[in-house]
Structure 1
């Protein structure tokens, strides 16, 4: 595969990036994806500062390839996380859920490439203005926290491509080589894949959750809790509880009370499939097997190349 804007920016073999997902993306997954030629990401959103340091150090021992850290900017101890990232010599940071202007310059002054995750053209332009090195444009098919506008990846990528000059990474509903090719035909320089890597051996998510992802079909996920922060979930008892509450026109405080604390940890990390919050993308309907991360990368690239050859004959 020839070098492009993203592979040269990150010094990786393939334009394939593993998303930094809470409770799933520890050092084992990040290093496995990086060793396979993609860009692995440690998801710091579920980590205390000392835990993040441990994951970075273990990742550095497990791979000599580039890897990144994802930092949701709503994190309460973000200053400590950023300090650790700089101290440990991390070279790439993906920021999300916040204003990219706050940390971009500081990180770049410390030799770090910065990528910001957006869900709209407006925020892509704000990110470019803030000086980031690239953006991830994520359609509403994606799992976890999501954009309010419900713009699909197929619509979002060409609209963002039309407006920005910096490299563009597509995310949301991509978990196959064919999906990867489609996103790049629409103008993306690379893809970010989350849900497919949840169902990998190296993901730190609970085996119960992985099995539920594999069993999920079309229509088994839904975007909800828009009043707090839109999130795509598998339909389980917790989701049914949300639906029942909506029937009585709940206040924002009512929804916060139902959500409580550590609901995502309960579901994705501890494996409580009834009371836990199970965040996954619509692409779950195409995930049928739990595999090693390296095998997922290999299969996606092989399918990408095969599909590219088929398209050339159309």
Structure 2
């Protein structure tokens, strides 16, 4: 079965499934595997140390797939920000035709991307931000529910409410993100008004993800309860794996601590060490509540094929079979 939606038609993909732009994980190999399997793979721009490294990573992806793939450019306020304009130019010069922006307002980057014929997906965590992004002229909204890994925003609205609330206001294609790991989530998202889904944690637990095997096995062994929400008192909430480090961060901030008191604990270098060494206690690393739904480590092709086939079974069979017929003569 091929599930066709406004998203698949716009992006030129076969299945309405997008790989999230994950720091240190969104590399050429994984992105190409997702695109080759019919979804939309994503390279994470800031995983690459320099804009030139990003150009080379995009070239590697092109060697691995002739299908569409995206580049994520997350724009966040920082004392020493990366050279965002140079990363943007690297994307344009490399001929990438789909970009996912996230973090801050995408307005400063839209003219350059659109002038280059690039389709822009913007990730939001609230309806009001999605409406604003639509008014700015982005092409696709990705709406991120409270269940997600990383930054879920500060409104704490789960996907079951957030997706249809956004669909009521959004006219352009919309991707549902957060809390989705299988065909049931895909079908539910489509029923709630989305045109496709974005998955992060589920793609970490695949054979092609550039992550240590121990991390993948830890995700499989964990439940939906095994995450922590850190930096909440600072209104910079992030959902991460529950370990000694994340629990210490929560304890310090709940006790009145400030960011300076946890800076060393939440350092990105420590998180990268988790992905590379497999030591899940080495630092902070992001993971969603969907880990409670993940039971295996398939190849990307196996995962997408299974999701699409099972979605077809749900749409054409299970839903219809679960609705009991009304007895003859009963009030309707």
TM-score of the superposed pair, with normalisation by structure 1: 0.96
> Is 1:141 equivalent to 2:121 in the alignment?
no
Change (3 A) 1:181 1:2: closer
**Conserved 8 A contact 2:243-2:280:** yes
Structure 2 equivalent of residue 61 of structure 1: 63
**Tell me, what secondary structure is at the counterpart of 1:223?**
strand
**Tell me, what secondary structure is at the counterpart of 2:265?**
helix
Deviating more after overlay: 248-257 vs 94-103: 248-257
Deviation at 1:202, TM superposition (A): 1.0
**Tell me, what secondary structure is at the counterpart of 1:156?**
helix
Change (3 A) 1:248 1:31: same
**Tell me, what secondary structure is at the counterpart of 1:204?**
coil
Change (3 A) 1:125 1:198: same
The equivalent position to 1:188 in structure 2, one of 194, 198, 203, is 194
Compute the RMSD of aligned alpha carbons: 1.5
Q: When the two structures are aligned, how many residues end up with a matched partner?
A: 314
The equivalent position to 2:286 in structure 1, one of 269, 275, 279, is 279
Change (3 A) 1:258 1:277: closer
Deviation at 1:261, TM superposition (A): 4.7
Deviation at 1:258, TM superposition (A): 3.5
**Tell me, what secondary structure is at the counterpart of 1:258?**
coil
Distance in 2, Cα, partners of 1:261 & 1:166: 34
Structure 2 equivalent of residue 99 of structure 1: 105
> Is 1:34 equivalent to 2:41 in the alignment?
no
> Is 1:300 equivalent to 2:301 in the alignment?
no
> Is 1:288 equivalent to 2:288 in the alignment?
no
Residues 110-165 of structure 1 show CA distances to partners (whole Å, capped at 9, x for unaligned) of: 01000100000110011001100010001010112221111101110001011111
Residues 165-202 of structure 1 show CA distances to partners (whole Å, capped at 9, x for unaligned) of: 11110000101001100011000011111111001111
Structure 1 equivalent of residue 46 of structure 2: 45
TM-score of the superposed pair, with normalisation by structure 2: 0.91
The equivalent position to 1:234 in structure 2, one of 234, 237, 241, is 241
The equivalent position to 2:86 in structure 1, one of 56, 80, 83, is 80
**Conserved 8 A contact 2:265-2:284:** no
Distance in 1, Cα, partners of 2:305 & 2:278: 28
**Tell me, what secondary structure is at the counterpart of 1:72?**
strand
Residues 61-117 of structure 1 show CA distances to partners (whole Å, capped at 9, x for unaligned) of: 111110000110126121121111011100000000010211112101101000100
Distance in 2, Cα, partners of 1:17 & 1:221: 23
